[in-house]
Amino acid sequence: MDAKQAEKRIKELREQLEYHARKYYDEDKPEISDFEYDMLMVELRNLEKDFPQFQTKDSLSQKVGGHVKEGFQKVTHEVPLQSLQDVFSFDEVVEFIERMQEKAQENNIEEVNYVVETKIDGLSAALEYKNGKFVRGATRGNGTVGEDVTENLKTVKTIPMELKDKIDITVRGEVFISKEDFEKMNQEREENEEELFANARNAAAGSLRQLDSKITAQRPLDIYIFNVQKVEGKEFNSHYEELEYLEKLGFNVNPVRIYCKTQQDIEKAIQKIGEDRENLSFGIDGAVVKIDDLKFREILGSTAKTPRWAVAYKYPPEKKETKLKDIVCQVGRTGVITPMAILEPVKVAGSTISKTTLHNEDFIKEKELKIGDTVVIQKAGDVIPEIVEVKKDKRTGNEINFEMPKVCPVCGALAVREEGEAAIRCTGIECPAKLFRNLVHFVSREAMNIDGLGENIIQQLLDNGLIENIADIYTLKLEDIASLKKNGQKFAQNLVDSINASKQNDLYRLITALGIRHVGAKASKLLAKKYKSMDKLMEAPVEELSEIKDIGEVMAKSIEEFFDQEQTRDLIEKLKQAGVNMNYQEQEGEDNRFEGKTFVLTGSLEKYTRGEASNIIEKLGGKTSGTVSKKTDYVLAGEEAGSKLTKAQSLGVTIITEAEFEKMIQ
């Protein structure tokens, strides 16, 4: 490679690494594996070494990859939180040891000892204590400046708020989520059809960097402390001694630390950690080899990015070949149909893999997967199994192409994939796989508003076989409900009253409750007002629906497909039989003073919630929007109004106060 080619490739690598570092450190949404990122970094380092004229200080090979997230206060680290030099073979570890021995001889140091520790796969943080009390915590950020996440760290149960000694100390640790807790989190997210966390590290990082500490408190974060950054009134000679002292103070210290005197000791320690990694309760992405003598560390010093007295040995990801025996489809609680690979069982990274998600139709096409293929399995982040490669050279000609189903495999309703979406969804409202979520939505406040029928009670009704579809809500008996709670007679009576009251709801609430894709409360009100009855709405042609203002083609098609379903018509007939209102309720002297007017709400109001103010506007014929544009008629601005108010001023949109709004609605 000549200098011109090298310069071009270095530029390409820096752009790729900057992009992937942003995805990993700042957005907590990596698109490539750690190993793939590491290999790009190794290539960059080697090229910069061979062509030093192209090396610059802003290259990611010379600095830590993270940035401070907007919304957090910045914290300047008194002692930088550096990253480690990665090595990928034991030969490189030997080179490090030989380098350390040479430096020791130059400085008349007779004995060099090491500590080998697990490199915990999490998010680095510094904890600061004054007089033994926790006063501040920050993320690593770019190593020099991090994010103040004190309130979030206070929710981590293993961080002591007060130490056993009244000492001023700053320590460094790794915030992580255990393997078991991570699997539970992703299982729950899969059931709710939320995006899965790529790995435990990103789940931990995303949890710690929440702007709302209440969200962080709901996540199962843990921490292991592995270094003293700064301490006053106490001196240590060795790193191992530091770790023992940290335990006495009450810290949760990295449990895997092996004291080593020789190269053979270090090799055995790395091998042992590699063999035991599957039995550890937390994820690791390597083993760290550190000089134990703290004075020797001072002599060795650091580069701008890494200390010279440590390296991180990175274990290669384990891959195995197996057969793709079949592809089956599962239906989640919100109706998303997900293809699942059924594999010949194979042991990868310590656990037996017999199935894995194939995500969606696009993933199968991208990998060109066929039933019967030989595939390569890898555990992403050592947790989630995934198919990374198809061995096309091993095909026999007996492999079978796979197509996503056109109907739901559970209930037989139409399965649709909408433009711009990767997911295929079941459209059946009575689908057993979707029943829980459909029930929760049906009874919710913005829909049929059945007070007392929360998620817990719905689950109990399902578990006890008291309801099997939405219409069964209206056949519930007082004694059935009372049996769910100790002394539940009063609760049961209140719930029965609420269920009966919901039968008289206006038509728009029932339309909202049906959960037609893309149709919310606003559109439901438009439809109820236009068609006056459920029967007329059910027969409305798509061309007519699409001409209604604020409905459009996508929503119109969704409405037509929904009412064409046999399940939909069956449910509506059952609801009719139960006495649920199917007609628009004309309001006497209906007031449409805001007809054709669009409002945007910003800031906090004194007398109303935003929801209450929106309801008032809509009842008076107006509509609300979340964004300010030239088409906006009024911006209702409360206290601490932000960027929407500024934009309204720049566009010349009429701005009204809460007092002015009250005059308008009198």
Residues 431 and 534 in one domain: yes
Task: Give the CATH number for residue 41.
Answer: 1.10.287.610
CATH of the domain at 570: 1.10.150.20
Query: Is residue 586 situated within a structural domain?
Result: no
Examine the domain organization and report whether 282 and 237 are in the same domain.
yes
Q: 392 is in which domain, residue-wise?
A: 317-426
Instruction: Provide CB contacts within 8 A for 307, sequence distance 6+.
Output: 82, 84, 297, 300, 301
Kindly state whether residues 459 and 380 are assigned to the same domain.
no
Half-sphere exposure (Cβ direction) of 216: Cα atoms closer than 13 Å? 22
Question: What pLDDT is recorded for position 316?
Answer: 79
Give 285-339 as a DSSP string: EEEEEEE-BHHHHHHH-B-SSSBTTEEEEPPPPPEEEEEEEEEEEEE-TTSEEEE
Among the candidates 293, 313, 333, a domain finishes at 313
**Is residue 416 domain-resident?**
yes
Let me know whether 128 and 254 are in one domain.
yes
Let me know if residue 25 belongs to a domain: yes
Domain contains 392: yes
- Model pLDDT, residue 319: 82
Positions in the chain short of pLDDT 50: none
Would you call 184 a catalytic residue per the annotation? no
Spatial CA neighbour of 239 closest among 218, 222, 220, 253? 253
In a shared domain, residues 100 and 248: yes
Write out pLDDT tens, residues 620-649: 888 888 889 988 999 999 887 888 888 899
Nearest to 199 by CA among 385, 336, 377: 385
pLDDT digits (tens, 9 = 90+) for 288-307: 999 999 999 999 999 888 99
The closest of 37, 27, 26 to 285, measured between CA atoms, is 37
- Phi first, then psi, for residue 376 (nearest 5°) are -105, 125
Residue 588: the pLDDT is: 53
How many domains does the chain divide into? Answer: 5
**Given this model, what pLDDT does residue 589 score?**
53
Q: At 307, which CATH number?
A: 3.30.470.30
Of 324, 314, 259, 305, the residue nearest 284 (C-alpha): 314
Q: Cα(585)–Cα(582) distance, rounded to whole angstroms?
A: 9
Can you give the CATH number for the domain in which 634 is found? 3.40.50.10190
Instruction: Out of 313, 343, 374, pick the residue that ends a domain.
Output: 313
Among 315, 318, 320, smallest CA distance to 271 is for: 315
Are 343 and 328 spatial neighbours (Cβ–Cβ below 8 Å)? no
User: CA-to-CA distance for 510 and 533, rounded, in angstroms?
Assistant: 11
CA-based diameter of the chain, in Å? 98
pLDDT at 371: 96
Residues 448 and 489 in one domain: yes
Query: Which residue in this structure is represented by tokens 């530029």?
Result: 11
Asked whether residue 240 falls in the same domain as residue 338, the answer is no
Given the residues 23, 57, 119, 272, select the one marked as catalytic.
119
Q: Calculate the CA dihedral of residues 609, 615, 616, 619 and round it to 10 degrees.
A: 180
What 3-state DSSP class applies to 634? strand
Judge if 606 and 501 occupy the same domain. no
Inter-CA distances, 128 with 75, 78, 159, Å: 11, 11, 11
CA atoms of 107 and 300, how far apart (whole Å) = 10
> Is the alpha carbon torsion for 162, 164, 170, 172 positive or negative?
negative
CATH number of domain containing 342: 2.40.50.140
What whole-number distance in Å separates Cα of residue 208 and Cα of residue 200? 12
Nearest to 249 by CA among 178, 173, 175: 173
H helix intervals, 139-261: 150-153, 179-191, 200-208, 213-217, 239-249
Amino acid identity of residue 397, one-letter, is G
* CB environment 606-627: b (16+ within 10 A), e (fewer): eebeeeebbebbbebbbbbeee
310-313, strands of its sheet edge to edge: 85-87, 310-313, 284-291, 114-120, 257-260
Same domain, 252 and 363: no
Q: Is residue 591 part of a domain?
A: no
For every residue of 117-173, DSSP letters joined together read EEEE-SEEEEEEEETTEEEEEEE-TTSSEEEB-HHHHTT-TTS-SB-SS---EEEEE
- The pLDDT value recorded for residue 471 is 95
Same domain, 420 and 327: yes
Q: Is residue 592 part of a domain?
A: no
In whole angstroms, give the CA distance from residue 408 to residue 414.
6
Contact 297, 291 (CB under 8 A): yes
Residue identified by tokens 């520790």 is 117
Q: Are residues 222 and 121 in the same domain?
A: yes
Is 67 within the bounds of a domain?
no
Place of tokens 């790794």: 174
Query: Contact, 601 vs 648, CB < 8 A?
Result: no
389 and 454 share one domain? no
* CA pseudo-torsion sign 501, 505, 511, 515: negative
Rounded CA-CA distance 158/153 in Å is: 10
647, part of any domain: yes
Q: Which of 110, 105, 103, 170 shows the shortest CA–CA distance to 309?
A: 103
Q: Of 426, 450, 484, which one is at a domain's C-terminal end?
A: 426
Number of alpha carbons in the 13 Å side-chain half-sphere of residue 33? 20
- The two three-digit tokens of residue 301, written as one number: 């010093």
